[in-house]
């Protein structure tokens, strides 16, 4: 999807989007716990600035341009380069817009629960958003690697925010998986490309060097492909997925933004980058050993859905559903057809919007009633209608029913599968959608249609406004995205 003949514009706006959270961070730390309103204002301002900077770049991109900003030279011939293309911009828009919503939500959530160390929370939140922007705007593999690591480390304090025993175990699995994969799989792969492509002169640039990997022998390409695919463990592909449920010990805003939008989506984002911009669809399609990746993706989808069925803890169920949805994205990318990749790109946005709604709802339920388990939700629908309604919408979107965003992306992925004449993949899609129905709908259903005979939850009403408004908005977003899908596709240049 990276067209060579584009007008390159030098512009600092990507850097602004990158640095805005860091500047906000200074304000946050300076305001501190004493002046919490001021502190949250800073967070909010940072989010606004970032989002506006990102959005202001959309017209340029639709005008067929590409924005670049050169930060500094890492190695000989490898600059730390920011480049905004449609794909990255789409991801950046989703992340930054949802950050605003999350900020509002977090204020309600954290204050509602009287969480401790909120300053630390907001600070590292800002850092990780900056890192996310960096990944979205990276122009070559090394740049992306930098921000990828930055994200891993900066989210650790958020995951272990509760500072208790399960937080420790969660944090250990989190860092263990992410750093192990990135340091022991990704780094060798990078240095392999750096050394063996053109004698160390390759920049690993996403525009210039697409398909250079084709010089390697088939086996080498397979090995590289595997190293990259599993190296970006944030994508949560099946053998390396269990950090994500572990990370659910984090407060809900973290789970919502980071583990439904930023972190996991960064993972699949990187995977798609590698597939489409390092290997390139042609090379990937000729790669005969590449079908097993499709297999792994499908397996991930099905198995995670099955696991999700058995989860009673709401957040864990959502986590496993996230793994499954990420499977869709990777699947679309592995299909290595424009349709498939376009579908997975869309799915990043669609699923982000849907899943964050679900997480918001889960958090709102927790704030309002302190309930964590699906089995406890009987009759909550009447008491918190907005929340549960939003939950319903989000579930439908994730399941993929029109007129909700999730439908479009799945549709394109299916088209991509058909381009590859892989009918069975379509079958897998159908089955998994069915499974989605089974593990998502019951939640809303129990909430609405099951009256709790034992009147065990008196006086529960809606969560605070700051919680409800964002989730209503995101639920709305699921509708809007369905109708925005065409401009989005045009943005990522799948269809002209």
Partner 1 sequence: MMENAIAWILIFPLFGSVACAILGMGNKKICYPIAVLSMAGSLWAGIEALRQVIASEEHTISYIFGGWTLDQYPRGVGIEFYADILGILITLVVLGVGLIVAIYSKLPVQEETPGKEPLFYTLFLLQITGLAGICLTGDAFNLYVLIEVAALTGYGLIAMGSNRAAAATFNYVMLGTIGASLYLLGVGYIYIKTGTLNMIGIQQAIEANGLADSATMQVAFVLVGIGILIKMAFFPFHAWLPNAYCNAPTTTSCLLAPLVTKVMIYVMIRMVLSVFGVEFSFESTMWVDVMPWLVVVAILCAAIMALAQREIKRMLAYLIVAEVGYMVGGIWIYNYYGFIGSIFHVISDACMTLCLFLGAGLILRKAKTTKFDGLRGLFGKMPLTMTGFFIGGFSIIGLPPTCGFFSKWYLITGGMVSQRWEYMVVLMFSTMVMVVLFFRLIERIHLAVTESGENLGHGHGDLGLNAEQTRFDEGPLSMLIPLLVSATIVIVVGIYNQDVVSLIEIFLSDYNLPRGTGH
> Residue numbers of the site for partner 1 (CB under 8 A)?
32-34, 72-76, 115-117, 119-120, 145-146, 149-150, 153, 156-157, 160, 162-165, 167-168, 171-172, 175, 179-180, 183-184, 187-188, 191-192, 194-196, 199-200, 215-216
Strands 78-84 and 7-10: unpaired
Rounded CA separation 430/428 (Å):
5
DSSP 264-333: HHHHHHHHHHIIIIII-HHHHHH-GGGHHHHHHHHHHHHHHHHHHHH--BHHHHHHHHHHHHHHHHHHHH
Least spacing, CB of residue 60 vs partner 1, in Å:
28
CB closer to partner 1 out of 180 and 411: 180
CB closer to partner 1 out of 123 and 321: 123
Least spacing, CB of residue 413 vs partner 1, in Å:
34
Least spacing, CB of residue 449 vs partner 1, in Å:
35
Q: How far is CA 166 from CA 45, 109, 172, 365, 370, in A?
A: 33, 21, 10, 21, 18
CB closer to partner 1 out of 135 and 335: 135
- Secondary structure class of 67 (helix, strand, coil): strand
Longest dimension (CA), the chain: 73
Q: Is the peptide bond before 403 cis (omega within 30 degrees of 0)?
A: yes
CB closer to partner 1 out of 25 and 413: 25
Least spacing, CB of residue 67 vs partner 1, in Å:
22
Is 423 exposed, middle or buried (CB count within 10 Å of its CB: 0-12, 13-18, 19+)?
Answer: exposed
Least spacing, CB of residue 313 vs partner 1, in Å:
17
**What DSSP state is assigned to residue 433?**
H
Task: Give Cβ neighbours of residue 292 (< 8 Å, ≥ 6 apart).
Answer: none
CB closer to partner 1 out of 151 and 348: 151
CB closer to partner 1 out of 117 and 386: 117
Least spacing, CB of residue 445 vs partner 1, in Å:
32
Residue with tokens 């030279």: 73
CB closer to partner 1 out of 43 and 397: 43
Least spacing, CB of residue 14 vs partner 1, in Å:
18
């Amino acid at each position: 999807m990276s067209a060579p003949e584009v007008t390159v514009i030098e512009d600092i706006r990507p850097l602004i989007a990158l640095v805005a959270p860091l500047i906000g961070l200074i304000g946050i730390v300076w305001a501190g716990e004493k002046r919490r309103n001021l502190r949250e204002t800073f967070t909010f301002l940072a989010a606004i600035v970032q989002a506006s900077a990102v959005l202001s770049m959309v017209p340029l991109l639709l005008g067929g341009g590409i924005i670049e900003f050169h930060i500094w030279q890492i190695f000989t011939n490898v600059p730390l380069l920011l480049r905004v293309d449609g794909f990255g911009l789409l991801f950046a828009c989703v992340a930054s817009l949802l950050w605003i919503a999350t900020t509002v939500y977090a204020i309600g959530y954290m204050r509602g629960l009287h969480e401790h160390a909120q300053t630390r929370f907001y600070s590292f939140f800002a850092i990780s958003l900056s890192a996310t922007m960096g990944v979205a705007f990276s122009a070559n593999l090394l740049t992306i690697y930098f921000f990828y690591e930055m994200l891993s480390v900066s989210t650790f304090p958020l995951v272990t925010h509760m500072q208790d025993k399960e937080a420790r175990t969660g944090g250990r699995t989190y860092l263990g998986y992410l750093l192990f994969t990135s340091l022991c799989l990704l780094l060798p792969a990078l240095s392999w490309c750096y050394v063996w492509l053109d004698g160390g002169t390759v920049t690993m640039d996403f525009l210039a060097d697409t398909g250079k990997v084709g010089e390697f022998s088939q086996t080498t390409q397979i090995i590289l492909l595997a190293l990259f695919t599993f190296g970006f463990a944030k994508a949560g592909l099946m053998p390396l997925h269990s950090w994500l449920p572990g990370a659910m010990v984090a407060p809900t805003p973290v789970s919502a933004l980071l583990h439904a939008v930023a972190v996991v989506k960064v993972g699949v984002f990187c995977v798609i980058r590698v597939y489409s911009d390092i290997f390139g669809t042609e090379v990937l399609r000729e790669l005969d050993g590449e079908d097993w990746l499709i297999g792994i993706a499908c397996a991930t989808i099905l198995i995670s859905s099955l696991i999700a069925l058995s989860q009673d803890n709401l957040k864990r169920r959502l986590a496993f559903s996230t793994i499954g949805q990420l499977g869709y994205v990777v699947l679309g990318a592995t299909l290595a057809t424009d349709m498939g990749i376009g579908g997975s790109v869309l799915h990043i946005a669609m699923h982000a919007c849907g899943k964050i709604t679900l997480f918001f709802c889960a958090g709102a339920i927790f704030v309002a009633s302190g309930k964590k388990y699906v089995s406890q939700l009987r009759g909550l629908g009447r008491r918190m209608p907005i929340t549960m309604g939003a939950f319903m919408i989000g579930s439908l979107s994730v399941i993929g029913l029109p007129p909700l965003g999730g439908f479009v992306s799945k549709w394109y992925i299916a088209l991509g599968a058909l381009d590859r004449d892989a009918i069975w993949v379509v079958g897998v899609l159908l089955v998994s959608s069915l499974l989605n129905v089974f593990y998502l709908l019951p939640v809303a259903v129990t909430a609405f249609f099951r009256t709790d005979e034992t009147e065990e939850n008196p006086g529960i009403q809606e969560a605070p406004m700051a919680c409800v408004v964002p989730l209503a908005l995101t639920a709305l977003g699921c509708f809007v995205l369905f109708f925005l899908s065409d401009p989005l596709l045009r943005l990522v240049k799948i269809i002209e």
